[in-house]
Structure 1
Amino acid sequence: MSRWRQQGSLWCLEPPVSTGVIEFIGGSYLAATPQISYRRLLEALCRRGLSLRAWSYVPGFDHQAQATEAWRAFRGARQGTPALPVLRLGHSLGCKLHLLAPDGGRGSSALVAMSFNNFSADRSIPLLADLAPRLGVRTEFSPSPQETLRLVSQLYGVPRNLLIRFGNDPLDQSPPLLEVLQQRPGDGSSLLQLGGDHLTPASAGLRQNLLGPWADDPLRQRQIDRLAATIDSWWRQDGGQAERG
Protein backbone atom coordinates (compact mmCIF):
# COMPACT_ATOMS: atom_id res chain seq x y z
CA MET A 1 0.00 0.00 0.00
CA SER A 2 1.38 3.41 -1.00
CA ARG A 3 1.46 6.52 1.14
CA TRP A 4 -1.27 9.11 1.14
CA ARG A 5 -0.80 11.79 -1.51
CA GLN A 6 -2.71 15.00 -2.06
CA GLN A 7 -4.28 15.78 -5.41
CA GLY A 8 -5.98 19.16 -5.18
CA SER A 9 -8.80 18.84 -2.65
CA LEU A 10 -8.52 15.02 -2.64
CA TRP A 11 -6.38 12.75 -0.51
CA CYS A 12 -5.55 9.57 -2.42
CA LEU A 13 -4.30 6.14 -1.38
CA GLU A 14 -3.53 3.22 -3.71
CA PRO A 15 -3.27 -0.53 -3.08
CA PRO A 16 -0.71 -2.56 -5.07
CA VAL A 17 -3.52 -3.80 -7.34
CA SER A 18 -6.85 -1.99 -7.41
CA THR A 19 -10.20 -3.69 -8.04
CA GLY A 20 -12.35 -0.61 -7.43
CA VAL A 21 -12.46 2.99 -6.28
CA ILE A 22 -14.02 4.45 -3.16
CA GLU A 23 -15.01 8.11 -3.30
CA PHE A 24 -15.28 9.22 0.33
CA ILE A 25 -16.79 12.32 1.92
CA GLY A 26 -16.57 12.67 5.68
CA GLY A 27 -18.74 14.57 8.10
CA SER A 28 -18.53 17.97 9.72
CA TYR A 29 -15.05 19.26 10.53
CA LEU A 30 -13.51 15.80 10.61
CA ALA A 31 -13.57 16.02 6.83
CA ALA A 32 -10.97 18.79 6.69
CA THR A 33 -8.25 16.14 7.17
CA PRO A 34 -9.84 12.83 6.09
CA GLN A 35 -6.45 11.15 5.70
CA ILE A 36 -6.05 11.58 9.47
CA SER A 37 -9.56 11.59 10.90
CA TYR A 38 -10.71 8.53 8.96
CA ARG A 39 -7.31 6.95 8.44
CA ARG A 40 -8.00 3.58 10.04
CA LEU A 41 -11.20 2.90 8.12
CA LEU A 42 -9.88 4.12 4.77
CA GLU A 43 -6.60 2.22 5.08
CA ALA A 44 -8.49 -0.94 6.06
CA LEU A 45 -10.49 -0.62 2.84
CA CYS A 46 -7.33 0.02 0.84
CA ARG A 47 -5.81 -3.22 2.18
CA ARG A 48 -8.79 -4.97 0.59
CA GLY A 49 -7.69 -3.79 -2.84
CA LEU A 50 -9.65 -0.56 -3.13
CA SER A 51 -8.28 2.81 -4.25
CA LEU A 52 -9.28 5.70 -1.99
CA ARG A 53 -10.24 9.23 -2.95
CA ALA A 54 -11.18 11.29 0.12
CA TRP A 55 -12.46 14.84 -0.35
CA SER A 56 -11.16 17.50 2.04
CA TYR A 57 -13.53 20.39 2.87
CA VAL A 58 -14.86 22.67 5.58
CA PRO A 59 -18.68 22.59 5.82
CA GLY A 60 -20.67 25.64 4.77
CA PHE A 61 -24.35 26.48 4.45
CA ASP A 62 -24.62 25.80 0.69
CA HIS A 63 -24.56 22.02 0.65
CA GLN A 64 -25.61 21.83 -2.99
CA ALA A 65 -22.59 23.87 -4.05
CA GLN A 66 -20.29 21.69 -1.96
CA ALA A 67 -21.85 18.52 -3.38
CA THR A 68 -21.10 19.80 -6.87
CA GLU A 69 -17.55 20.75 -5.89
CA ALA A 70 -16.87 17.28 -4.51
CA TRP A 71 -18.39 15.59 -7.57
CA ARG A 72 -16.15 17.64 -9.88
CA ALA A 73 -13.06 16.74 -7.85
CA PHE A 74 -13.87 13.03 -8.00
CA ARG A 75 -14.67 13.20 -11.72
CA GLY A 76 -11.38 14.97 -12.40
CA ALA A 77 -9.44 12.27 -10.55
CA ARG A 78 -10.96 9.58 -12.78
CA GLN A 79 -9.72 11.15 -16.01
CA GLY A 80 -6.85 9.26 -17.56
CA THR A 81 -7.18 6.29 -15.17
CA PRO A 82 -8.43 2.75 -15.87
CA ALA A 83 -12.21 2.35 -15.70
CA LEU A 84 -12.95 0.72 -12.35
CA PRO A 85 -16.23 0.33 -10.44
CA VAL A 86 -16.92 3.20 -8.05
CA LEU A 87 -18.45 3.04 -4.59
CA ARG A 88 -19.48 6.31 -2.99
CA LEU A 89 -18.97 6.26 0.78
CA GLY A 90 -20.18 8.98 3.12
CA HIS A 91 -20.27 9.69 6.83
CA SER A 92 -22.80 12.06 8.45
CA LEU A 93 -23.01 15.23 6.29
CA GLY A 94 -20.90 13.43 3.67
CA CYS A 95 -23.86 11.16 2.92
CA LYS A 96 -26.02 14.18 2.08
CA LEU A 97 -23.36 15.61 -0.22
CA HIS A 98 -23.12 12.34 -2.15
CA LEU A 99 -26.90 12.18 -2.49
CA LEU A 100 -26.92 15.72 -3.91
CA ALA A 101 -24.27 15.02 -6.57
CA PRO A 102 -25.37 16.60 -9.87
CA ASP A 103 -25.16 13.26 -11.70
CA GLY A 104 -27.81 11.73 -9.43
CA GLY A 105 -25.32 9.03 -8.49
CA ARG A 106 -24.97 7.70 -12.05
CA GLY A 107 -21.17 7.83 -11.87
CA SER A 108 -21.16 5.09 -9.24
CA SER A 109 -22.43 1.56 -8.76
CA ALA A 110 -23.60 2.00 -5.16
CA LEU A 111 -23.60 4.18 -2.06
CA VAL A 112 -22.80 3.32 1.54
CA ALA A 113 -24.17 6.01 3.86
CA MET A 114 -22.92 5.86 7.45
CA SER A 115 -24.81 7.88 10.09
CA PHE A 116 -26.78 9.98 7.59
CA ASN A 117 -27.31 13.44 9.08
CA ASN A 118 -29.86 15.88 7.67
CA PHE A 119 -30.55 18.23 10.57
CA SER A 120 -31.46 21.89 10.11
CA ALA A 121 -28.81 24.57 10.63
CA ASP A 122 -30.10 25.69 14.02
CA ARG A 123 -30.13 22.06 15.22
CA SER A 124 -26.61 21.45 13.91
CA ILE A 125 -25.27 24.78 15.19
CA PRO A 126 -27.08 25.50 18.49
CA LEU A 127 -25.65 29.01 18.82
CA LEU A 128 -27.27 29.92 15.51
CA ALA A 129 -30.76 29.39 16.94
CA ASP A 130 -30.03 32.08 19.55
CA LEU A 131 -28.18 34.58 17.37
CA ALA A 132 -30.24 34.52 14.17
CA PRO A 133 -33.45 36.00 15.67
CA ARG A 134 -31.47 38.70 17.48
CA LEU A 135 -29.76 39.65 14.23
CA GLY A 136 -33.02 39.57 12.33
CA VAL A 137 -31.84 36.92 9.87
CA ARG A 138 -32.96 33.45 9.01
CA THR A 139 -30.18 31.03 8.16
CA GLU A 140 -30.68 27.51 6.86
CA PHE A 141 -28.73 24.97 4.93
CA SER A 142 -29.39 24.85 1.21
CA PRO A 143 -31.13 22.62 0.43
CA SER A 144 -33.09 22.37 3.67
CA PRO A 145 -33.69 18.96 5.29
CA GLN A 146 -37.15 18.65 3.70
CA GLU A 147 -35.91 19.80 0.30
CA THR A 148 -33.02 17.35 0.49
CA LEU A 149 -35.35 14.38 0.85
CA ARG A 150 -37.54 15.70 -1.97
CA LEU A 151 -34.53 16.01 -4.28
CA VAL A 152 -33.40 12.49 -3.40
CA SER A 153 -36.82 11.08 -4.24
CA GLN A 154 -36.92 12.88 -7.60
CA LEU A 155 -33.32 12.99 -8.84
CA TYR A 156 -31.19 10.34 -7.13
CA GLY A 157 -31.04 7.31 -9.40
CA VAL A 158 -28.83 4.65 -7.80
CA PRO A 159 -30.93 1.65 -6.68
CA ARG A 160 -28.24 -0.02 -4.56
CA ASN A 161 -27.65 1.75 -1.25
CA LEU A 162 -26.58 0.53 2.19
CA LEU A 163 -27.49 2.75 5.11
CA ILE A 164 -25.45 2.01 8.23
CA ARG A 165 -26.79 3.13 11.58
CA PHE A 166 -24.77 2.78 14.79
CA GLY A 167 -26.61 1.78 17.95
CA ASN A 168 -25.68 4.77 20.11
CA ASP A 169 -26.10 7.59 17.63
CA PRO A 170 -28.69 10.31 18.34
CA LEU A 171 -27.53 12.23 15.25
CA ASP A 172 -28.46 9.46 12.81
CA GLN A 173 -31.42 10.06 10.48
CA SER A 174 -31.21 6.96 8.32
CA PRO A 175 -34.86 5.75 8.66
CA PRO A 176 -36.44 8.79 6.92
CA LEU A 177 -33.87 8.49 4.13
CA LEU A 178 -34.56 4.77 3.75
CA GLU A 179 -38.28 5.45 3.47
CA VAL A 180 -37.70 7.95 0.67
CA LEU A 181 -35.31 5.64 -1.19
CA GLN A 182 -37.59 2.64 -0.97
CA GLN A 183 -40.48 4.56 -2.51
CA ARG A 184 -38.58 4.71 -5.82
CA PRO A 185 -39.36 2.04 -8.43
CA GLY A 186 -36.82 -0.78 -8.46
CA ASP A 187 -35.08 0.35 -5.29
CA GLY A 188 -32.75 -2.08 -3.53
CA SER A 189 -31.76 -0.02 -0.50
CA SER A 190 -31.33 -1.55 2.94
CA LEU A 191 -30.53 -0.48 6.50
CA LEU A 192 -27.95 -2.19 8.71
CA GLN A 193 -27.53 -1.43 12.41
CA LEU A 194 -24.12 -1.99 13.99
CA GLY A 195 -22.65 -1.40 17.42
CA GLY A 196 -20.89 1.87 18.04
CA ASP A 197 -21.67 5.58 17.97
CA HIS A 198 -21.60 8.52 15.59
CA LEU A 199 -17.80 8.71 15.67
CA THR A 200 -17.12 5.01 15.16
CA PRO A 201 -15.87 5.46 11.57
CA ALA A 202 -13.45 8.20 12.61
CA SER A 203 -12.30 7.87 16.18
CA ALA A 204 -9.40 5.41 16.14
CA GLY A 205 -7.32 7.17 13.50
CA LEU A 206 -7.94 10.56 15.07
CA ARG A 207 -7.10 9.41 18.59
CA GLN A 208 -3.87 7.74 17.56
CA ASN A 209 -2.70 10.71 15.52
CA LEU A 210 -3.32 13.14 18.38
CA LEU A 211 -2.30 11.02 21.35
CA GLY A 212 0.05 8.37 19.97
CA PRO A 213 -0.22 4.56 19.72
CA TRP A 214 -0.78 4.19 23.48
CA ALA A 215 -4.20 5.85 23.07
CA ASP A 216 -5.51 3.11 20.77
CA ASP A 217 -8.75 1.56 21.94
CA PRO A 218 -8.82 -2.13 20.89
CA LEU A 219 -12.61 -2.15 20.85
CA ARG A 220 -12.69 0.82 18.49
CA GLN A 221 -10.16 -0.84 16.24
CA ARG A 222 -12.20 -4.05 16.06
CA GLN A 223 -15.31 -2.01 15.26
CA ILE A 224 -13.52 -0.28 12.40
CA ASP A 225 -12.12 -3.56 11.04
CA ARG A 226 -15.62 -5.08 11.10
CA LEU A 227 -17.02 -1.97 9.45
CA ALA A 228 -14.48 -2.15 6.61
CA ALA A 229 -15.22 -5.85 6.13
CA THR A 230 -18.96 -5.17 6.07
CA ILE A 231 -18.66 -2.42 3.47
CA ASP A 232 -16.35 -4.46 1.24
CA SER A 233 -18.44 -7.63 1.49
CA TRP A 234 -21.70 -5.82 0.77
CA TRP A 235 -20.31 -4.08 -2.29
CA ARG A 236 -18.89 -7.29 -3.75
CA GLN A 237 -21.97 -9.44 -3.18
CA ASP A 238 -24.19 -10.32 -6.14
CA GLY A 239 -21.55 -9.01 -8.51
CA GLY A 240 -22.49 -5.44 -7.65
CA GLN A 241 -18.89 -4.27 -7.76
CA ALA A 242 -18.62 -5.30 -11.38
CA GLU A 243 -20.79 -2.39 -12.47
CA ARG A 244 -18.78 0.39 -14.04
CA GLY A 245 -18.88 3.93 -12.70
Structure 2
Amino acid sequence: MPTWRQRGELWTVGPTQPKGVVQFLGGSGLGASPQLSYKRLLEAVSRRGWLVQCWSYLPSFDHQLLAVQAWRSFRSQRQSDLPVLRLGHSMGCKLHLLAPDQGRGCRGEALLSFNNFSADRSIPLLGELAPRLGVRSEFSPGPEETLRLISSQEHRRQRLLIRFRQDQLDQSRPLLRQLQSIGEQVELVELSGDHLTPASAGLRQQWLGGLGDEQRQRQLDQLAENIERWWKQGPGLTPSGCVAS
Protein backbone atom coordinates (compact mmCIF):
# COMPACT_ATOMS: atom_id res chain seq x y z
CA MET A 1 0.00 0.00 0.00
CA PRO A 2 1.58 3.32 -1.07
CA THR A 3 2.22 5.76 1.77
CA TRP A 4 1.16 9.38 1.44
CA ARG A 5 3.15 12.07 3.25
CA GLN A 6 2.65 15.79 3.65
CA ARG A 7 5.70 17.94 3.00
CA GLY A 8 5.03 21.63 3.46
CA GLU A 9 2.04 22.52 1.30
CA LEU A 10 2.39 19.38 -0.82
CA TRP A 11 1.12 15.82 -0.52
CA THR A 12 3.58 13.25 -1.86
CA VAL A 13 3.60 9.56 -2.73
CA GLY A 14 6.23 7.48 -4.50
CA PRO A 15 9.34 5.30 -4.23
CA THR A 16 12.42 6.23 -2.23
CA GLN A 17 14.53 6.35 -5.41
CA PRO A 18 12.22 7.80 -8.07
CA LYS A 19 13.10 8.24 -11.73
CA GLY A 20 11.42 11.65 -11.81
CA VAL A 21 8.89 13.98 -10.22
CA VAL A 22 5.27 14.47 -11.23
CA GLN A 23 3.84 17.82 -10.15
CA PHE A 24 0.07 17.38 -10.07
CA LEU A 25 -2.74 19.95 -10.00
CA GLY A 26 -6.35 18.80 -9.81
CA GLY A 27 -9.56 20.40 -10.98
CA SER A 28 -11.67 23.00 -9.22
CA GLY A 29 -13.12 21.49 -6.04
CA LEU A 30 -11.41 18.14 -6.52
CA GLY A 31 -8.07 19.90 -6.17
CA ALA A 32 -8.80 20.74 -2.53
CA SER A 33 -7.87 17.19 -1.47
CA PRO A 34 -5.96 15.65 -4.39
CA GLN A 35 -4.49 12.90 -2.22
CA LEU A 36 -8.07 11.61 -1.86
CA SER A 37 -9.81 12.80 -5.03
CA TYR A 38 -7.11 11.43 -7.34
CA LYS A 39 -5.71 8.73 -5.07
CA ARG A 40 -6.03 5.81 -7.49
CA LEU A 41 -4.60 7.61 -10.53
CA LEU A 42 -1.67 9.14 -8.67
CA GLU A 43 -0.78 5.87 -6.98
CA ALA A 44 -0.86 4.18 -10.40
CA VAL A 45 1.57 6.84 -11.63
CA SER A 46 3.80 6.39 -8.57
CA ARG A 47 3.98 2.62 -9.15
CA ARG A 48 5.70 3.40 -12.44
CA GLY A 49 8.61 4.94 -10.56
CA TRP A 50 7.51 8.53 -10.09
CA LEU A 51 7.55 10.70 -6.99
CA VAL A 52 4.15 12.41 -7.16
CA GLN A 53 3.72 15.84 -5.58
CA CYS A 54 0.24 17.36 -5.26
CA TRP A 55 -0.70 20.92 -4.38
CA SER A 56 -4.13 21.46 -2.81
CA TYR A 57 -6.12 24.64 -3.33
CA LEU A 58 -9.56 26.19 -2.99
CA PRO A 59 -11.26 27.65 -6.09
CA SER A 60 -10.73 31.34 -6.80
CA PHE A 61 -11.51 33.73 -9.65
CA ASP A 62 -7.83 34.74 -9.78
CA HIS A 63 -6.35 31.81 -11.67
CA GLN A 64 -3.05 33.61 -12.28
CA LEU A 65 -2.51 34.00 -8.54
CA LEU A 66 -3.29 30.32 -7.98
CA ALA A 67 -0.81 29.39 -10.72
CA VAL A 68 1.94 31.42 -9.03
CA GLN A 69 1.17 29.94 -5.61
CA ALA A 70 1.24 26.39 -6.99
CA TRP A 71 4.52 26.99 -8.82
CA ARG A 72 6.14 28.41 -5.68
CA SER A 73 5.03 25.41 -3.62
CA PHE A 74 6.46 22.93 -6.11
CA ARG A 75 9.64 24.97 -6.41
CA SER A 76 10.15 24.91 -2.63
CA GLN A 77 10.24 21.09 -2.71
CA ARG A 78 12.15 20.71 -5.98
CA GLN A 79 14.36 17.65 -6.45
CA SER A 80 17.05 19.35 -8.54
CA ASP A 81 18.59 16.18 -9.96
CA LEU A 82 15.32 14.64 -11.22
CA PRO A 83 13.35 15.36 -14.41
CA VAL A 84 9.94 16.95 -13.87
CA LEU A 85 6.62 16.15 -15.55
CA ARG A 86 3.72 18.50 -14.90
CA LEU A 87 0.36 16.73 -14.80
CA GLY A 88 -2.97 18.52 -14.57
CA HIS A 89 -6.68 17.77 -14.72
CA SER A 90 -9.36 20.24 -15.86
CA MET A 91 -8.61 23.62 -14.25
CA GLY A 92 -5.31 22.22 -13.03
CA CYS A 93 -4.15 22.16 -16.67
CA LYS A 94 -4.79 25.89 -16.93
CA LEU A 95 -2.82 26.58 -13.76
CA HIS A 96 0.19 24.68 -15.08
CA LEU A 97 -0.02 26.55 -18.39
CA LEU A 98 -0.02 29.87 -16.50
CA ALA A 99 3.06 29.02 -14.40
CA PRO A 100 5.37 32.05 -14.20
CA ASP A 101 8.39 30.07 -15.43
CA GLN A 102 6.49 29.25 -18.66
CA GLY A 103 7.41 25.59 -18.34
CA ARG A 104 11.16 26.04 -18.01
CA GLY A 105 11.21 23.95 -14.85
CA CYS A 106 9.88 20.79 -16.53
CA ARG A 107 10.55 18.42 -19.41
CA GLY A 108 6.91 18.21 -20.46
CA GLU A 109 3.25 18.58 -19.55
CA ALA A 110 0.45 16.00 -19.59
CA LEU A 111 -2.92 17.76 -19.58
CA LEU A 112 -6.11 15.79 -18.87
CA SER A 113 -9.52 17.21 -19.84
CA PHE A 114 -8.30 20.80 -20.30
CA ASN A 115 -11.04 23.24 -19.28
CA ASN A 116 -11.00 26.95 -20.13
CA PHE A 117 -14.66 27.97 -19.88
CA SER A 118 -15.74 31.44 -18.81
CA ALA A 119 -16.94 31.97 -15.24
CA ASP A 120 -20.60 32.39 -16.16
CA ARG A 121 -20.54 29.05 -17.99
CA SER A 122 -18.65 27.32 -15.19
CA ILE A 123 -20.88 28.74 -12.44
CA PRO A 124 -24.62 28.74 -13.24
CA LEU A 125 -26.44 32.07 -12.67
CA LEU A 126 -23.17 33.95 -12.11
CA GLY A 127 -23.73 36.27 -15.04
CA GLU A 128 -27.11 37.26 -13.61
CA LEU A 129 -26.14 37.51 -9.94
CA ALA A 130 -22.66 39.05 -10.13
CA PRO A 131 -23.81 42.59 -11.06
CA ARG A 132 -26.35 42.57 -8.24
CA LEU A 133 -23.80 41.38 -5.70
CA GLY A 134 -21.00 43.59 -6.96
CA VAL A 135 -18.55 40.70 -7.36
CA ARG A 136 -16.13 39.73 -10.12
CA SER A 137 -17.91 37.90 -12.92
CA GLU A 138 -14.95 36.50 -14.88
CA PHE A 139 -11.84 34.49 -14.19
CA SER A 140 -8.47 36.20 -14.43
CA PRO A 141 -7.23 35.57 -17.01
CA GLY A 142 -10.38 34.82 -19.02
CA PRO A 143 -10.58 32.18 -21.77
CA GLU A 144 -9.30 34.29 -24.68
CA GLU A 145 -6.56 35.91 -22.60
CA THR A 146 -5.44 32.48 -21.38
CA LEU A 147 -4.92 31.24 -24.94
CA ARG A 148 -3.13 34.48 -25.85
CA LEU A 149 -0.75 34.10 -22.91
CA ILE A 150 -0.01 30.51 -23.86
CA SER A 151 0.75 31.57 -27.44
CA SER A 152 3.13 34.31 -26.27
CA GLN A 153 5.33 31.99 -24.22
CA GLU A 154 8.85 31.70 -25.60
CA HIS A 155 9.87 28.41 -23.98
CA ARG A 156 8.83 25.35 -26.00
CA ARG A 157 8.19 21.99 -24.37
CA GLN A 158 6.48 18.74 -25.30
CA ARG A 159 2.86 18.29 -24.31
CA LEU A 160 0.39 15.43 -24.13
CA LEU A 161 -3.32 16.26 -24.26
CA ILE A 162 -5.77 13.57 -23.15
CA ARG A 163 -9.50 13.93 -23.69
CA PHE A 164 -12.30 11.50 -22.83
CA ARG A 165 -14.95 10.69 -25.40
CA GLN A 166 -17.93 11.31 -23.11
CA ASP A 167 -16.50 14.50 -21.63
CA GLN A 168 -18.82 17.47 -22.25
CA LEU A 169 -16.48 19.94 -20.52
CA ASP A 170 -13.26 19.17 -22.37
CA GLN A 171 -11.60 21.88 -24.47
CA SER A 172 -8.49 20.02 -25.55
CA ARG A 173 -9.13 20.53 -29.27
CA PRO A 174 -9.07 24.36 -29.17
CA LEU A 175 -5.88 24.13 -27.09
CA LEU A 176 -4.40 21.67 -29.60
CA ARG A 177 -5.07 24.07 -32.49
CA GLN A 178 -3.55 26.96 -30.54
CA LEU A 179 -0.40 25.01 -29.70
CA GLN A 180 0.01 23.67 -33.23
CA SER A 181 -0.31 27.20 -34.64
CA ILE A 182 2.86 28.22 -32.77
CA GLY A 183 4.81 25.09 -33.63
CA GLU A 184 4.57 23.26 -30.30
CA GLN A 185 5.28 19.53 -30.03
CA VAL A 186 1.89 18.22 -28.92
CA GLU A 187 0.07 14.88 -29.06
CA LEU A 188 -3.67 14.35 -28.52
CA VAL A 189 -4.95 11.01 -27.19
CA GLU A 190 -8.63 10.09 -26.86
CA LEU A 191 -9.75 7.52 -24.30
CA SER A 192 -13.08 6.17 -23.13
CA GLY A 193 -14.54 7.93 -20.11
CA ASP A 194 -15.88 11.29 -18.97
CA HIS A 195 -14.65 14.42 -17.23
CA LEU A 196 -14.39 12.67 -13.85
CA THR A 197 -12.55 9.59 -15.09
CA PRO A 198 -9.21 10.75 -13.58
CA ALA A 199 -10.86 11.05 -10.15
CA SER A 200 -10.46 8.09 -7.82
CA ALA A 201 -12.46 4.94 -8.37
CA GLY A 202 -12.96 4.70 -4.63
CA LEU A 203 -15.22 7.74 -4.66
CA ARG A 204 -17.77 5.82 -6.71
CA GLN A 205 -17.37 2.37 -5.25
CA GLN A 206 -20.37 2.67 -2.94
CA TRP A 207 -22.63 3.34 -5.94
CA LEU A 208 -21.02 1.14 -8.60
CA GLY A 209 -20.02 -1.85 -6.49
CA GLY A 210 -16.97 -4.05 -6.93
CA LEU A 211 -17.35 -4.63 -10.68
CA GLY A 212 -17.68 -0.93 -11.42
CA ASP A 213 -14.73 -0.21 -9.19
CA GLU A 214 -12.54 -2.70 -11.04
CA GLN A 215 -13.53 -1.19 -14.38
CA ARG A 216 -12.69 2.30 -13.14
CA GLN A 217 -9.31 1.08 -11.88
CA ARG A 218 -8.54 -0.38 -15.31
CA GLN A 219 -9.34 2.99 -16.86
CA LEU A 220 -6.96 4.72 -14.47
CA ASP A 221 -4.21 2.18 -15.12
CA GLN A 222 -4.69 2.72 -18.87
CA LEU A 223 -4.47 6.46 -18.32
CA ALA A 224 -1.26 6.14 -16.31
CA GLU A 225 0.19 3.82 -18.96
CA ASN A 226 -0.57 6.31 -21.75
CA ILE A 227 1.27 9.01 -19.84
CA GLU A 228 4.21 6.65 -19.28
CA ARG A 229 4.33 5.65 -22.96
CA TRP A 230 4.34 9.28 -24.10
CA TRP A 231 7.08 10.16 -21.60
CA LYS A 232 9.36 7.34 -22.76
CA GLN A 233 8.87 8.23 -26.43
CA GLY A 234 9.23 11.99 -26.01
CA PRO A 235 10.28 14.06 -22.97
CA GLY A 236 12.03 11.11 -21.34
CA LEU A 237 14.49 11.03 -24.24
CA THR A 238 15.37 14.71 -23.81
CA PRO A 239 18.81 15.43 -22.32
CA SER A 240 18.64 16.32 -18.66
CA GLY A 241 19.68 19.92 -19.24
CA CYS A 242 16.19 21.28 -18.63
CA VAL A 243 16.34 24.83 -17.34
CA ALA A 244 15.57 25.01 -13.62
CA SER A 245 13.83 28.05 -12.25
Check whether TM > 0.5. yes
Q: Which of 91, 94, 97 lines up with 2:92 in the alignment?
A: 94
- 1:28-72: CA deviations, max 9, x gaps? 101111011000000001111000001100110000000000000
Aligned to 1:207: 204
Mean Cα deviation higher: 145-154 or 7-16: 7-16
What SS does structure 2 have at the residue aligned with 1:97? Answer: helix
What SS does structure 1 have at the residue aligned with 2:110? Answer: strand
What SS does structure 2 have at the residue aligned with 1:113? Answer: strand
Please show how residues 148-227 of structure 1 align to structure 2 within 5 Å.
148-155=146-153, 157-185=155-183, 187-208=184-205, 214=210, 217-227=213-223
Q: Retained in 2: the 8 A contact 1:20–1:241?
A: no
Q: Does 1:74 align with 2:74?
A: yes
Percent of pairs identical after alignment?
59
Q: TM-score, normalised by structure 2?
A: 0.91
Q: Counterparts of 2:239 and 2:167 in 1: how far apart (Å)?
A: 32
Aligned to 1:65: 65
* Count of residue correspondences: 241
What SS does structure 2 have at the residue aligned with 1:217? Answer: helix
Instruction: Could you tell me which runs of 5 or more consecutive residues in structure 1 were left unpaired when the two chains were aligned.
Output: none
Instruction: Could you tell me which runs of 5 or more consecutive residues in structure 2 were left unpaired when the two chains were aligned.
Output: none
Q: Retained in 1: the 8 A contact 2:119–2:137?
A: yes
Q: TM-score, normalised by structure 1?
A: 0.91
CA pair 2-243 structure 1, distance change in 2 beyond 3 A: farther
Q: Retained in 1: the 8 A contact 2:169–2:195?
A: yes
Deviation, structure 1 residue 16: 3.7
Deviation, structure 1 residue 215: 8.2
Q: Which amino acid aligns with 1:207?
A: R
Deviation, structure 1 residue 138: 5.0
CA pair 171-239 structure 1, distance change in 2 beyond 3 A: closer
Deviation, structure 1 residue 136: 5.3
Aligned to 1:34: 34
Aligned to 1:146: 144
CA pair 4-137 structure 1, distance change in 2 beyond 3 A: closer
What SS does structure 2 have at the residue aligned with 1:197? Answer: coil
Q: Retained in 2: the 8 A contact 1:110–1:158?
A: no
Q: Which amino acid aligns with 1:228?
A: A
Deviation, structure 1 residue 87: 0.4
Superposition RMSD in Å: 2.1
